[in-house]
Structure formats: structure tokens, C-alpha cells
Structure 1
Amino acid sequence: MKYLFLIMLFFSVKASYSQTISGKVNRDNDAQRIKIALLNSEFKTEADSLGNYKLENIPGGDYKIQVISTGFKTISQKISIVENENLNLDFELKDNENELNEVVVSGTLKAVKRLESAVPVEVYSPVFFKKNPTASIYDALQNINGVRPQLNCGVCNTGDIHINGLEGPYTLVLIDGMPIVSSLSTVYGLSGIPNSLVERIEIVKGPASSLYGSEAVGGLINIITKNPLNAPMFSADVFTTSYLETNVDLGMKFNPSKKATTLLGVNYFDYNQIIDKDHDGFTDVTLSKRVSIFNKWSFQRNNNRLFTIAARGMYEDRWGGDVRWEKKFRGGDEIYGESIYTKRGELIGSYQLPFEEKVILSFSGNVHYQDSRYGTTSYIANQKIGFLQLTWDKKIGRNDLLAGIANRYSYYDDNTTATKEAESTWLPGIFVQDEIRFSPKSQVLLGMRYDYNSIHGSIFTPRVAYRLKANENTIFRLNAGTGFRVVNLFTEDHAALTGSRDVVIKSDLKPEQSFNVNLNYIQKINFGNGTFMGIETTVFYTRFSNKIISDYETDPNKIIYDNINGYALSQGISTNVDLNLPSGLKFIVGATVLDNKNVENGISETPFLTEKFTATWSISYKIEPLKLLLDYTGNVYSPMKLPLLSETDPRSPKSPWYSIQNIQFTYLGWKGFELYGGVKNLLNFTPKQNNPFLISRTNDPFDKNVQYDSAGKVLVTSNNPYGLTFDTTYVYGQNQTIRGFLGLRYNLK
């Protein structure tokens, strides 16, 4: 009887421990080791090459199962094990949102995993930009390391985008790989791109002219819009701030036929509050009404050939200036205001030709009409740009070839005395690129491009890149190349500044050219407990010849442009660190140290509005029990040299150290909805701090009471004690105080 009891006890214990958990771990990309474990227990295993796994002899009870693989989001899930019942659990691994396995196209014009690209490309998803919601792509870039939106006008609040301290004209902005945002739209066209339609933003730092031609001198920003096939049926994102800035983003997908899918996006922005918290009698922020409509079509074709076409129309009415200004004062000298009407249309598309070879025809076109009044100064401009490109993509053995021909037509005319007649230019080009893979760990990329400008003649831009994969977690990249920019000065910043200064060109401006070399290092660290860290560091060096410099100091009423009699340098080091903890805490931290200077006649000077150091961060934590996501974002900038009008100008010659910080709470407890709110500019920083004023002589914006000596120098008088003229160029950051915001998102899949 005793032995019978022991046998029964043995089988009962074995039965209570006979439960198993099995299943399959699916993933889009190849994963390394996939570890499955029950936390706080000895039960753990690894999936096989197909993703199958099995845990055996598990006692009944409540557990938390965790699935871990380098480069993928950690999965944690609570489960209950019932005695004598086996459990089948399948999992889907997803790439980390801030990880290194994204597919990119900007570096080589080919779709390739980011880690496999010979050219370093940074990728930012909508998840990243949701951490600090903004009304435009221009504002959204403020939390990207090494990228800084720069205001150029203290009244009209127009601006451009700096990469590694280089001015906006050196940054090429693309939509779906097409050079659609350039020239006039660098100043005015970055607003109105619906954020809800953005799939991701890719950034290449350093010259990319061998693929993209003119303007890609300092770097490029490629805005990739969503594929209509993968977009939700309906999406909406609406938010407002305590300044009563209201932004509405809507996206809708339709299927007109079995082989056609279309995505319609609408962006509406309205800000109509006259606010003057610095008490200078001028608006702190430009008032604006903007509507933008975007429509993208995707067509299914035989053999999965590509055919997409998209169009966007945008209209904006903005004004800033004297708080008493009304439209009836537009263009007059009674009450000062800067009023800008912008009309813009764009068309982009790609069509894969019906050949066995992969041949793609890409095209884009845009028209931009500007009707502006800067006080009594009228600036009316008309710009048309057309772009056509044919590429051939072929793999031959170890060689991955890309060749193409392109042509760009630009038309520009305005009513200024500097533009005596309309200017039309053609820029045909031919390029070839060969990516040679010596081994799975080593590859080299060789590229060159030849362009012929109808005004400036021949331009040749080569580049070379080498990638070494030391091991699964360590990658080195070395890139070198040249860039060029055909100058069209007035389409870039003339309109933003002409309200207070005349523009003078000392000589025929030559195309700017640059040489760049950078070394990129990526290190992935998997701590094995669900903690993952990615470190990316880039050392860069760019030398410019023929750089166009702006002289603000010789004459306070003028900006004098000329090619530098020497050279210019942009060099530094940039580091990004991504850290994901199993607790759900995530860090994205970046810092850039810059050394930018113009060297002329043996004298080295730091350019205006160029920081020595910048840092950005994003810290996120999800509180699971409350379905609440916390995001804390911010940036910090070192002092920048600012343009003063005279030796007696009382404003600081340098900006202070300053930081813009934001916090956001997002409630995720409703299916399909996200309710979010928070505070922007937590530290309540404005450029007016430590300055008597930002805009000089707002009491006399038409300079009616300014007196000059025989040499044209402004005299110091009783009603002009500092010897200044009206000027709006002393600006380096946004002029909005601390403010709250509240918004709601909805997605219907």
C-alpha cells in the first residue's frame, strides 16, 4: 500500500508539471537568436531557424512570458497555465522604432536595409514626431540631432533648415525622392505637408550631389509619404494650443477600382491671435491661415511594377508686424506689416517601364507664386521647376549598378531691380553608381555625376563609400564626395530679409562647390535581459570653395553677397544613442560638436547663426496599468554670433545658451484613439531675455526719423540714441512663451 501511494504521488506530480507552451515567433526581417523565457523562473529556450519554440514541464500558475531578439521590440505578456492543458502562443516581432533595421532609399536611390547601406542614413518615423506634435515638418525637425530649423525674419517668421550648422540653401528637401521643395519653397513651402501622410523622414548629412545634383551640398531631407495600399482607411489628428493655434490633419483611403488605391490628405492650420508679450508693439508670432491638400495614387500592375502619382496644392495667408495692422494697410507706409500670400502646386510620380530590366521614370513639377509686402517693399515672384529622371537598376554578379539621366528646368522671375528679366535655366545630368560587394562584411560604392548648367557650364561630382561589418554588432562606414550648388540667391532668402535691408551683389556669383569626408561608426549592444543600446557616431569634414557669404556689418541698410575669397569649413563630431530598457523606458539622445568658419585673406570668422554645440533628447515611458505614455523631449544650443547694426547696438552680439523643452502625456485606453496633451517650452524661454529689444526701432519701421552722415552712416540723435535703423534680422529662435496643448488622434484600419 505504501509503494502504491508513492507511485500515485509520482504520477500526480508529473502530471501537474506536464504542461507545455509552444508556438512560432514570426518576424519581417531575419532575426539573430530569439530567446523565450518565463520571467522569475528557470524556464527558458531559444527558437529554431524557422521561429518554432517549446517550453516543457511547466507547473500551473500565472506567469509573464518574454520574447527577446536583438534589433526587435521586446515582447512581454501575462499568461495563465492551467493543469493538463497545453498552451499555443504565436508572436510577431517588430523592428524597434528607433532601431537600425529600417529600409532606406535616400543614400543610394535603392531600397536597402539601413545597416546594409554603404551611405549613413538616419530614419525618423511618425512615432518619433508624435512625441512633440507640431503643425509643420519645419517645426517637427527641431528634435533631430544636428538639424535645426532657423528663423530668418523676426516679423514674417520665415525660415530654413540647417544641417550641421550649414545654412538652409545647402539643404535639399525631397518628397518621395523628388526635389520638390527647393528655392522659394525652402523659405515658404515646408509648411502644409500633412504630418498624417508621412511614412518616415530620411536624412543624409553631407554632400549627395552625385545622385541628386544641385543643392544637396550640406545634406538632404527626404520626406517619404505613405503607400496608399498600407495606409489606414481613415486617420485624423487635431490639436490646439493655449495660443489658440489649431492644426487639423485628415487622411482618407479609397479604392476606386480593384487596381487603384488613392490616399487623400488635408491639412488646415489657423492662428489668428494678436499676441505681444514682449511689449514691442509687434506680433510675437506671425498670424497664419493655411490649407494644403495632398492626393496620392497607387496602381497595381503586372509583375508588381511600380506606378504612383501624387499632387499637392497649398495656399497660405500670413502676416506679422504692428499689432494695429489690418489688410487695408498692406503695402502702405502708415502702419507697418509684412503680408505674404503663397500659392503652390506640386506633382510627383514614378512609373516603372514594362521591360524585363528595372527601368523607372520619375518626374516632378511645381509652380510657386509669391505675393508679398514688407512694409512698402513689394516682392512678387513666380517660379516654375520641372524635373525628369530615368534610372536603370541592375545586379551583375557582385556589382549592384544604378545609372540614370536627369534634366531639371527652372524658371524664375520677380519684380525686384536685381532681376532685370526672367531667368530660365536647364540642368541636364547623367550619373552612374556601382556598389561592389566583396563579401557579406565588406562593400564599396563608387559614383559620379556630370551636369551641364546652361549658365555656369560643366560640373562633375564623384563620390566613394566603403562599408565594413566587423561583426553582427559593429559597422564602420567611410564616405567621401563632392557637392555643388547653382546659386539662385533671391529665391532663397531675399524675400525673407528685404523688408528691412537692400540686397547688394558685388560680382557675378559662381556655383558653390564642396568636398566632404565622414567616418561613421555603429555599435549595437544587447545586454541579454531585454536591454538594448545602439550607438552611432559620425566624424565629418566639409570644405567649401566659392561659398557665398553675407555681409551684414559693412552697411546697416544692406546685405552684401559675394563669393568668399578663400574657403569655408564645416567640421565636427555627432553622436546618437538609443537605449531601450525592458521596463518600457526609452531614451534617444544626441549631441553634435561643430566647428564652422569662413577663412578669407588669412582671417578666420565664425558665420552668423551657427552654434558650436547642440544636443537633443527624447525620453519615453509607458505606464501600462494606466494606458499612459509619457514623452519628455528637448534640445539645447550653445551661443551663436548674431548680426548687429552698429557698435552702439545694445543687443547682445551672441545668443545665450538656451533650451526648448516639452512634455506630453498620451492616453491609449480607447481603441483607435489617442488623447494627448502637455506643455511646450517648459522653461519659458524667449530670445527677448537679456535684450532690450529684438526688432530695432519698431517705433519708426519706415525709418522716417533716421538721419545719415555724408558717408551714409546712421547718426546718433536724441530720438535714435543707438544709431539704428529698423531691422528684423536679429533672430535666432522661436518667440513663443510657455504654452499648453491638447489633441486627439484617431486611426481606422
Structure 2
Amino acid sequence: MKNTLLFLLLFAVSLSLSAQSTGSLSGQVLSKDGAIVNASIKVSGSTLGTISDVDGNFTLKSVPFGNKTLVISAVGYQARKINVQIAEKNKPLHIHLENDNFGLSEVVVTGTMKEVSRSDSPIPVEIITPQLFRKNPTPSLFDAIGMVNGVQPQLNCNVCNTGDIHINGMEGPYTMILIDGMPIVSALSTVYGLSGIPNSMVERIEVVKGPASSLYGSEAMGGIINVITKNPNKAPVLTTDIFSTTWGEVSADAAIKWKANKSTSLLGLNYYNFQNKIDKNKDNFTDMTLQDRISIFNKWSFDRKDNKQASIAARYVYEDRWGGEMNWNKSYRGSDQVYGESIYTNRAELIGLYQLPTREKIFTQYSYNWHKQDSWYGDTQYDATQHVGFLQGYWDKDLSKKHSLLLGASFRYTEYNDNTPGTANEDGTDKPAKTPLPGVFIQDEWKLNDKNTLLTGYRYDYDKYHGGIHSPRLAYKYSPNHHHTFRGSFGTGFRVVNLFTEDHAALTGAREVVIQEELNPERSINANLNYVLKVPTENVFMGFDFTGFYSYFSNKIVGDFDTDPNKIIYQNLNGHAITRGISLNTDFAFTFPLKLMVGVSYMDVFQKKEEDDGAMVKVRQLHAPKWSGTFVGSYTFTKSWSVDLTGNWYGPMRLPILPDDFRPEYSPLFMLANIQVNKKFKNGVEVYGGLKNLLNFVPKNPIMRPFDPFDNHVDDPINNPYGYTFDPSYNYSSLQGIRGFLGVRYNLFR
């Protein structure tokens, strides 16, 4: 009995001593924008750790007394170590983290049409900001968007250098490009949509890979790129960025902010000029188009009662570009003497948002764009005009703290006219295409508990040619803890018949567009699986983002480059098409000043078409490499000096070749790497410079028969036994080799 009492007494004393030798520590993790949710707080050298809540608050319990080192990290912020003294009573900590140089953001709107935390969104959204673009300065967002894994800016013509954007191997028409959520860039303007948007106006770019037709309608079958422009109230007073390259390119970007009564305005200007004829490969054709482009963007934000939202923005773009034989000038425009491709573009856009002054959250959005293209491809004229108007209203209703409903209706009207048979009656008279497209949509998001979120959606559109089109969507998010998140989505997509004369591969003077049949709308069934893993350790914060995707297309509208070298034949595929693959994005933020982002994608994109004998033949998609990847590395030597290494690499991709072509059908494995050194000064000035295309990779034989661009001598059995014709569409990379660049930036905050 005495021994038992003695044991209990000693046990009680040990518990008391143990309790007295540990303490608790609380605090809040903050950034310049407010509280940081899901920040990791770990005690170095132990298993003790916790996560900050929605207000950035945290509590660490049972921390042994004495000097301890805390490691604080969060996605999108620079990891930090601090020393603390743990005693019986500890003052709350206020820990401030700096945004990292990659500029990752935690707020997204594209996946669900309303602002939510990126980690809470049931739809996976990738985010990039100008902070990431600045690691490899480019004159347009078209070039910069290639820093996103699985997103490929594809040049389609070696003469005029026009192109489109592929997501997961799917061609440009499947990518919807939005500005502030408005489908302002589509059809005729797609190849120029991301050119001329002033980088100084961009707050971030959100990329959704996979179907989004249930919210955004036609053209969102492959994915969405949403350019979010800056809120004038939060923008710097003055921003400038000017750089030039050793090839003679000059890019200037500037924005200025001012207030007027209860409104704030942000005016942006972008100017790009390149007038240097360069022919490094000696084929007598310009390696890069000469360009003169100016873009003006003005956005107004209005202060309203109860913080109701209201904004309006307008943009105007003018561009004069040409490429062709080295002795071409404007006197040869439209002639058959010297070959050149000359394109004049005029474009105007209007975008607006207005929240109704009601108790309920009801928003109206509207946009309009006018696009005029006056162009000659050799002696082939392409003169086109397009008007697109869009009006949308939606009601965002919170049924409870964990259940919300989004109801909306939209109307899109497109008028398109050009000088090709695509907009003509059978007798040759003019017949502009007028396409009204009304639609309604509903989205129900239900947070079942802290770990499970369910999202359902449905959209109905009516096309005058094809009737009603249904687009359902289902998404689910499961997050057992702050380190693991699983997302799955399933949906259908559609794309109504559009004009394909906007395909610039058809306008080089080398190929004729042939619409083989009455085209039916495309349909697709899509599924995505996403897994996000966050691993905070004592010396590095690691993030892993895995995605698997699958799309099945029926009635796919395909362009046949192979049957006739002088034609592109458009028809519905007699069979089906499949896009499938996996991608991995990783980011590593070390406690010393090194940050890495590496991405890799595997894609299998092909068509199965039925031959005349009934056999199904597999054909790989053009310009869709099976393997590709991106990488970004940054090291900060001091607070003012840093170096950035960026790049892309692409595996072999199938290319459009001619019959009996001597050029390989598949491109080689190649890499485009860049390096930059940056110096920051205390007065807001930055000076940067570096090298692009470090490995000096340039495609070989990009133009077939450049010496006979008008096909005057193709019927020569001795000098042209295989009947080759002029063709500049054999393209998979820019013809610009290694080059240096130097620039300066200035930001004024007040």
C-alpha cells in the first residue's frame, strides 16, 4: 500500500514538473494583403507544428521551455525562420511573410465565377502574375503564357508569325480567353488577343485546364485563360517597363493612376516596335515579322455605397505587321512579284461590371469588341470584320454558411464577314454570318463539412442551327487535412460551328479552305483528377500538384492537311478523338534564398477515323508533343541582386508535311532556356538584363520552296520531281536564336 501511494505521489510530481516545463504559443501570420490561411508553423527539430486558420491565427501547445526556432511557410510566400523564447507565459506573435518572387496568389474567380480561396476552390486553378513573367520579359502575354506547364503558344506560320494557344495539346479554338471574366477574345481575334495587353495592367492570369462550358459556354472545351486586370484602387501610382533586345526589338509598357471624385482610373499604354530585317537561315525570308503595335487600356473603378462593385474598361489596339521576302516593301502589297504577308489590325473593346443596389448579390456584366483585319497573304486578300456583343447577369445567393447557389443568364451575339466563300451565298453574293447564342446556367456549391465540398452545374444554350445544347458539370473536393487535397470533375463541352477562315495556315497563299460538308457542333465528355500535396519541412516548403485528364470528342471538326497539299479540308471527323494525359507541377521554397518551380506534362492526343474500308486508323494531333515541361529557378544574392533561370522543353511533335517531304514528320526534342540578372534600387527602380534562347535552338527548313512562293515552277519534273509547293506551315518554334536583352522598370507607390 505504501509503495502504491509513493508511486502515485511520484507520478503526480512528474506530471506537475512536465506541465511546468512546457508552454503554449499563439500568434497570427500576416502578409501585406492581410491574414494568411493554411500557413505552416513548425518547431525546428521536433514534430510539433500547426496550421493557421482563416484569420491567420494559430496556437502551439506543449512546447518545451527554452530557445526555439520556428519555421513558417505558406504557398506563395517566402519561408521564414524566427527565434523565440518559450516560457510559462508568452506574448502573442505577429509574423509577417513576404510574397515570393513567383507571385503565386491564393484568390481565384475563374473556376466558379466568384472570388474564393484557391485552396477552397473545388475546381483546380493555376495562377501566374507579372512577378513570374518578369523572370523572362516578353513583349506580349502570348509569349509569356508559355511559362505555364501544359500551355503552349503555338506559332502556325513562319512568315506572319501568327499563332494560337494550346492547352493540354488541344488546338486554339478550344481555348477560351477572357479579360476580367468576359469572353472578349474569340474567333477572328484569337491570334492577336493576348498581344498588346499592357503587362502593367495585369494583376494575375488564371488558367483552368479542362471543360468549363457549363459556366462559359462554347469554346471552353479545352480550358480557360482569364486575364484579371488590376483594381485601380490597389495599383501603383506609376509603373513603367522598357526593354530592348540585340535583335532590335523595343517594348515599352506604362501605367498611371489618378483619382477623380469617387472614382479611380488606371491608364495603360503598350508599344512594341521591330523593324529589323533578319535572315539568319539564308532562305531570303524574314526570320521574324516586322511589327509596329500600340495598345491603350483604360479602366475605371467607382466607389459606391455598401462596397457595391462597379467598373468599366476600354482597350484599343492597332498593329501593322509583315513578313516575307527580304526585298519586300509596301509597294508590293497584294502583288505576285515579291512575296509578303502584310496584316493591318484595328481592334476596340469595352468591358463593364455593375452590381445592382439590392440586398441580394446580383451582378451584370457586359462587353463589346470590334475587330477589323485588312491583310494580304502574297496575292491572296483576307479582309474581315467581326462584332461580338455579350451581356450576362447572375445572382450569387448564400443559402447558408456552407451552401451557395449561382443563377445566371447570358446572351452573346456575333456578326462576322469576310471576303472568302465562308461568308457568301451559293451565287457569290455577300452573306455575313450572324450568330445569336442565348444561354442560362446554374451552379450549386455545397460544403458538406470541413473536408468535403460538392459542386454541380448545368448550362443550356440555344443555337439557331443546332437547337438546344446541354452542358452539365460535377466537381468534388476532399481535403482530409491541410497537406492533402483531392479534386475530381466531370462535364461535357460543346463548340458550335464557326468560320475557319481565321485559320492562318489557310491564308498563306499556299492552301485553300474547303468545307467538305454541313458541319455539326462538336461535343465532348471530359474528366479530371487532381491531387495537391503540401510538405513543409525545416529547410524547405515543397508543393506537388498532380493532374490526370481525359477528353472524348465526337463530331470533332478537323482540318485535313494531308489529302491535298494545296488545301485544308474541314469536315466532321468520321470517328472520334481523344485527349488524355497527366501533369505534375512542383514548387520548392527554401529557407535560404532559392526558389524552384518545375513542371512536366505527358499528353496522348489523337484521332481515330474510319477509312473507306471500315478500318479505324489512329492519327496523332499536329503540334501536340507527348512530353513537355517548364522550369523556373530564382536565387537572391542580396536584397537587391537576383538571378533567374527559366525555360521550356518540348518532345517530338507531329508537323504538317507535304507528300514525300524530305523533312522529318516529327520535330526534335528541344529546349528554350533563358537567364536574367536583376538589380533593385531603393527608389523603386529595377535594372535587368540577360540572354534568351541560351542554347541557340532554331528549326531547320521551316519554309518549303522559299525561292518559288507563288508556285510558278512547281511543274518541273527535273528540278521538282516530287511536286513540292510553297508551304510555310512547318513550324514548331520561333526562328529567333540567342539574343541579349536589357531593360529598366520603375514603380511609384503613394
Contact 1:674–1:745 at 8 Å: present in 2 too?
Answer: yes
Write the deviation string for residues 459-504 of structure 1: whole angstroms up to 9, x where unpaired. Answer: 1000000110111110101100011111213354157634211011
CA RMSD of superposed structures (Å) = 2.8
Alignment of 1:622-701 (within 5 A): 622-624=636-638, 627-647=640-660, 649-688=661-700, 693-701=701-709
TM-superposition CA deviations, 1:692-731 (whole Å, max 9, x none): x221111111111222xxxxxxxx5233244211111111
1:329-478 mapped onto 2 (5 Å cutoff):
329-397=332-400, 398-420=402-424, 421-478=431-488
- Do residues 523 (structure 1) and 533 (structure 2) align? yes
**Structure 2, gaps ≥5 residues long:** 1-24, 425-430, 611-615
- Identify the match of residue 164 of structure 1 among 151, 168, 171: 168
Is it true that 1:119 corresponds to 2:105 in the alignment?
Answer: no
Question: Once the 2 structures are TM-superposed, how far is the Cα of residue 138 of structure 1 from its aligned partner?
Answer: 0.5
CA distance in 1: counterparts of 2:718 and 2:418, whole angstroms: 39
Q: 1:505 aligns with which of 501, 515, 530?
A: 515
For 1:620, give the aligned amino acid.
S
Shift, 1:651, TM fit: 1.3
Report the CA distance shift for 1:373/1:476 in structure 2 as closer, same or farther (over 3 A): same
- Is 1:612 paired with 2:621? no
Alignment partner of 1:583 out of 583, 592, 597? 592
The whole-number CA distance in structure 2 between the counterparts of 1:221 and 1:282 is 33
Alpha-carbon distance, 1:66 to partner: 6.7
In structure 2, the residue matched to 1:214 is 218
Aligned partners of 1:65 and 1:748: how far apart in 2?
A: 36
Residue 650 of structure 1 deviates from its aligned partner by: 1.4
Give me the whole-angstrom Cα distance separating, in 2, the residues matched to 1:100 and 1:473. 17
> Secondary structure of the residue that 2:367 maps to in structure 1?
strand
1:10-409 aligned at under 5 Å gives the runs: 25-27=29-31, 28-31=34-37, 35=41, 68-71=72-75, 73-74=77-78, 91-94=95-98, 96=100, 102-257=106-261, 259-397=262-400, 398-409=402-413
Q: CA deviation at 1:47?
A: 10
Q: Is the 8 A contact 2:396 2:405 kept in 1?
A: yes
Pair 1:696–1:451, CA change in 2 (3 A): same
Amino acid in structure 1 at the alignment position of 2:657:
L
Amino acid at match of 2:133: F
Any idea what the Cα deviations from partners look like across 1:270-290, whole Å, max 9, x if unmatched? 000000000000000000000
> Structure 1 residues 333 and 100, CA, compared in 2 at 3 Å: closer, same or farther?
closer
Q: Cα–Cα, structure 1 residues 22 and 360, in superposed 2: closer, same or farther, change >3 Å?
A: closer
CA deviations 1:487-539 (Å, max 9, x no partner) are 21335415763421101111011111111001100000011x24101100011
8 Å CA contact 1:71–1:95 kept in 2: the answer is no
In the alignment, residue 627 of structure 2 is paired with which amino acid? F
Cα deviation for residue 33 of structure 1 reads: 6.8
2:712 is matched with which residue? Answer: 704
Partner of 1:196, secondary structure, is helix
Q: Deviations over 1:577-607 (max 9, x none)?
A: 0111111111100011011110011111102
Tell me the amino acid that sits aligned with residue 732 of structure 2: Y
CA distance in 2: counterparts of 1:469 and 1:40, whole angstroms: 27
Q: Find the aligned partners of 2:50 and 2:547 in 1 and give their Cα distance.
A: 38
Q: Partners of 1:491 and 1:365 in 2: how far apart?
A: 22
Aligned residue number for residue 545 of structure 1: 554
In the other structure, the counterpart of 2:15 is: none
CA distance in 1, matches of 2:626, 2:27: 53
Q: Which amino acid aligns with 1:630?
A: V
Q: What's the % identity of the aligned pairs?
A: 52
What is the SS of the residue equivalent to 1:418? helix
**Partner amino acid for 1:556?**
P
- What amino acid does structure 2 have at the position aligned with 1:443? T
Partner SS, residue 115 of structure 1: coil
Q: Cα gap change, 1:40/1:111 in structure 2, threshold over 3 Å: closer, same or farther?
A: closer
User: What is the number of residues matched between the two proteins?
Assistant: 703
TM-fit CA distance, 1:50: 5.1
Distance 1:252 1:52, change over 3 A: farther
Structure 1 Cα separation of the partners of residues 360 and 657 of structure 2: 59
* Separation of aligned partners in 1, 2:113 and 2:27: 39
| Distance (Å, rounded) in 1 between the aligned partners of 2:141 and 2:523 | 28
Deviations 1:398-446 (A, max 9, x none): 4210010000000000011232010101000000000111101101101
Name the structure 2 match of 1:572. 581
CA distance in 2, matches of 1:543, 1:466: 21
- Which deviations, in whole Å up to 9, do the C-alpha atoms of 1:235-257 show, x marking residues without a partner? 00000100011100001001021
1:742 aligns with 2:746: no
Q: Give the partner amino acid of 1:346.
A: E
> How far apart are residue 69 of structure 1 and its match?
3.7
Give the 3-state SS of the residue equivalent to 1:328 in structure 2: helix
In structure 2, distance between residues paired with 1:316 and 1:145: 29
The one-letter amino acid paired with 1:606 is: R
Cα pair 1:101 1:113 within 8 Å, conserved: no
Q: For 1:744, give the aligned amino acid.
A: V
SS at match of 1:116: coil
Distance 2:109 2:91 in 1: 42
Measured at CA, do residues 196 and 641 of structure 1 come closer, stay the same or move farther in structure 2, by a change above 3 Å? same
Question: Can you list the C-alpha shifts for 1:178-204, whole angstroms capped at 9, x where unaligned?
Answer: 000111111123210011111000000
Which range is displaced more, 309-318 or 662-671?
Answer: 662-671
Q: Which runs of 4+ in 1 moved over 3 A?
A: 21-27, 29-37, 44-59, 64-67, 69-72, 74-81, 86-91, 94-101, 494-498
